[in-house]
Structure formats: C-alpha cells, structure tokens
Amino acid sequence: MAGSRIADLFRCKPVGAIAAEGDDNPNELPHDLERSIGLFQLTMLGVGATIGTGIFVALTGAVPAAGPAVIVSFVLAGITAALTALCYAEFASTLPVSGSSYSYAYATLGEFVAFIVGACLLLEYAVSASAIAVGWGQYLNELFVDLFGWRLPDALAKPPGAGGVFNLPAVVLVGSCMLLLLRGAKESTTVNAILVVAKLLVLLFFVVIAFSGFQAGNFKPFAPMGLAGIWAATSSIFFSYIGIDAVSTAGDEVKNPRRNLPLGVVLSLLIVTGVYILVAVAAVGAQPWTAFAGQEAGLAVILRNLTGAGWTSLVLCLGAIISIFSVTLVVMYGQTRILFAMSRDGLLPRIFQKTDPRTRVPTWNTAIVAAFIAFLAAFVPLNVLMNLTSMGTLIAFAIVSAGVIVLRRTRPDLPRGYKVPLYPVLPIASVAFCGYLILGLPWDTFALFGVWVAAACLIYFGYSRKHSKLA
C-alpha cells in the first residue's frame, strides 16, 4: 500500500493525452478555450510580459548592487534565459498546451514534481504581477507631479514596509487588467500588442535622449561590488524574464501552436534582451551609478535631469504606465491558464476551469487571481516580491531544462517540431546557470519559498492526489 502511494507521486500524464489537448478540436469541450492568437500577438505577449518592471523599476535596485556592471548582469540573465528558451521551444513544439512548465513536468517527472512546479509558477506569476503593480504607482505619482504638481500621499501610494499603508494605484491596475481579461483572450492580446509597440517606442525615445548626455566616466569603477554584486543583481532581475514562460501558457489558444509557440519564445527573447541591454547602457551612461539608489521612477527622473524639460519626463511616465499595465495584463493571463490546466487535470477544484459560454474565458479563475494579486500588491514590500519571483522563475526554468533530457530518453520517437541544438550540453548548462543564480538570492527568500512549498505539499496530499484524473 505504501509502495503504491509512493508510486502515485511519480505517475506521469501520458504524452499522447497532453498532445491531444493541444490539438485544435473545438468539439471536444463545448466551452473550452478558443484558438485566436497569431504569431505576432504571441510574440508581443512574450515581450509584453517581459519588458516592464525589469527596466522601468528594478533597474534602480540592481544598479546599486552591481554598479555599471549591471550591464553584465543583464547579459548573464539573458544568456540563462536564452538557454532555457531553447528548451521551452522544444517542449512547446512537442506538447503545445496551456500550463507551460507545469504540463511539461507532468509528462516527464511525475505528478508531485509537476504540482510543485505549478506552485512555483503560481508564486512566479502572482508575486511578479504584484511587484509590477507596486512599481506602477511610482510612475503614476511622477505623472501627477508633471501634470498637476501634486502626488498621492505615501499612505495610499506605497505598501507597508516602504512608508505606506495601502497601495491604491496597484489595486486599481489589477482591477483594470481583470476587466479586460474577462472580455476575452483575443481582445486582451490585441490590446497588449498595441501597448507593447507603444512602450518600445517610448524606450527608444529614452535611449536617444539619454545617449545625448552620455558620459563614459560614469562607467568607472565598472564593478565596484565585484563578482558578488554582479551575481546578486543578476539573481534579482531574472524575474523580468518571465515572458518566456508566459508565451507557453497560451498553448491552448494559439493558432498553429507547433510552429508558432517555439517561434514566439525565441523571437520575444531576442527582442527583450536587446532592449534591456541598450536601455541599461544608456541609463548608466547618463547618470552616475550611485544616484540610482532609492530613486523612484528612475528613467523619468534621468530625462528630467538631463533636459530640464518636464515634457520628456511626462512621455517616459506615460510609457512606463502603459508598459507596466501590459506586463500585469499578460502575467495575470498566464497565471489563469496555468490554474486552468491544473484544474483540468483534477489537481485543483473545477471552479478554475469553468469558462463563460460567450467569451470562452475562465471567469471565476480570473477573479480569484485578481483578488490575490491585488492583496499582495497592496500590502507586501517590492524587494520581497521581486526576489520571490526570481526564485519561482529559476526553479521552473531549471525543471523544464531537465525535462527535455528526460523526455528525449523516455520518448525519443515523439514528433518534435524543434530540437535543442548541442543536446545534452545546452539543457545541462541551463540547469547549471539557473542553480547558480538561485544561490545568489538572500536567505530570507529561501525561507519564504520554503513556507510556500510546504503549503503546496499540504494541498497536494490533502486534495490533489485524491482528485487527480490519473488516480
């Protein structure tokens, strides 16, 4: 009996069943998700989920940690993300379904590991959306200063621990994203694509003006905190690469998923990494690295200081507000689809997979996610949120990379639209890079993550193991 219970932990969902869920079969479920997302919308989904907090908000925390060498931190994060992206691309072309790394782990490493990965993804998405929403209030306040000469009081504009009581702008942002998501996936991704193009233009505007005040002396000393500072900054900003995973959460709603999913992953990563490095170089060149510490709405302040004109700061603030809105929108979308996949497998209650007959949107799922994210954004400090997100992201990425090796060994005959080059070197390197960055996170992040995993174990053994469709 005990042996069968242990065996339950490692039962894998048949690859054929997962692949069948990814087939375009609208008659299988009368109110299931609808395939309405093309390659451009999908790529913009990845870019939208990635370009935002990592450059508009987290830069002001990463530069003090690494100095001008924060550029190296972004390069290292980009290399790690690129290695993982290739592994995601192989899985996405093989198992094109919602659930991203949760679904991939279920096919390769067993139910319990998949559930823990799902918990990591929920932590990654919910906490990152909360961190993003907290940063949105900073730029909204800067916009109020430029337009009206006043700002919201700290009690309503910041979370506890940062001088506030209740972060009202963050709650407004999450509520707005929820209303848009409830209208449907096609409408949400179309709006996101428009917002992404707008924020790329705003960042290009920042780069052009920042380079006009470029000072090579700002890069000396280049790495004042040494390798330790570069390592710590890389670990903390890695959460901003969550967009790679967000692309694969759309598996059930993408047209021609076996082709478009891997393309969307790779294209979005290339765009994002290039933009991140370009903006980081421009920002450090325009302002001494010591000025970044504690600087809210940092990019807007840099432009105002450079030009002395309020309109440049106004344009940047508008761009940041648009950008952070699109990131929050996509991250919330991704989390609802992971919960949908876990509910479809019986690991979570059916309420998470119940869709509206008209919009084909998981309504209750979306509302629950929005409430949870709004609560975190309103009451939890930003630095805690960012590090927890990096932890969840890195663990999920490492498991996906390991899963590629497992699936190659257990199902070498499986049709693959794309294969990771230099196998198995690149998947192993991806796992090693992720593990290295995890070790750079502060100890309190490990403690909070341990509490989260313990809670996930209680849910799995108390509910999910018994209600699993594989039971």
Give per-residue pLDDT as tens, 285-324: 888 888 887 766 667 778 877 877 777 778 877 877 887 7
pLDDT interval class at 50 (50, 70, 90): confident
Q: Is 1.20.1740.10 the CATH classification of the domain at 34-467?
A: yes
Measured CA distances, 229 to 169, 235, 383, 441 (Å): 32, 10, 16, 11
Buried b (16+ CB within 10 A) or exposed e, 136-153: bbbbbbbbbbbeeeeebe
| pLDDT over 80 at 370, yes or no | yes
Give residue 411's pLDDT.
Answer: 83
Give per-residue pLDDT as tens, 240-290: 676 677 777 666 677 777 778 788 888 888 888 888 888 889 988 888 888
Alpha helices in 213-286 (DSSP H): 226-237, 243-248, 257-286
Backbone angles phi, psi at 10, to 5 degrees: -110, 10
Average pLDDT over residues 88-114: 80
* Residue predicted with more confidence, 200 or 237: 200
Distance of CA 202 to the CA centre of its chain: 21
Average pLDDT over residues 111-118: 90
Average pLDDT over residues 424-430: 92
Give residue 29's pLDDT.
Answer: 39
Give residue 26's pLDDT.
Answer: 43
Average pLDDT over residues 357-364: 83
Give residue 255's pLDDT.
Answer: 79
Give the residue from 143, 127, 145, 245 showing the smallest Cα distance to 202: 143
pLDDT interval class at 31 (50, 70, 90): very low
| pLDDT over 80 at 420, yes or no | yes
Average pLDDT over residues 391-406: 86
* Residue predicted with more confidence, 265 or 453: 453
Give residue 161's pLDDT.
Answer: 64
| pLDDT over 90 at 379, yes or no | no
Give residue 18's pLDDT.
Answer: 67
Angle at 334 between CA 238 and CA 431, to 5 degrees: 40
* Residue predicted with more confidence, 197 or 428: 428
Domain-by-domain residue ranges, the chain? 34-467
Give residue 347's pLDDT.
Answer: 92
pLDDT interval class at 160 (50, 70, 90): low
Percent of the chain with pLDDT over 70: 86
Give residue 190's pLDDT.
Answer: 80
Give residue 289's pLDDT.
Answer: 87
Lowest mean pLDDT among 13-22, 189-198, 319-328: 13-22
| pLDDT over 70 at 47, yes or no | yes
Give residue 365's pLDDT.
Answer: 92
Lowest mean pLDDT among 15-19, 286-290, 401-405, 411-415: 15-19
**Number of Cβ atoms within 10 Å of the Cβ of 201:** 12
Percent of the chain with pLDDT over 90: 9
Give the residue from 272, 261, 245 showing the smallest Cα distance to 418: 261
User: What is the average pLDDT value for the chain, to the nearest integer?
Assistant: 80
Measured CA distances, 13 to 10, 104, 371, 470 (Å): 10, 9, 31, 7
CA pseudo-torsion sign 267, 67, 225, 441: negative
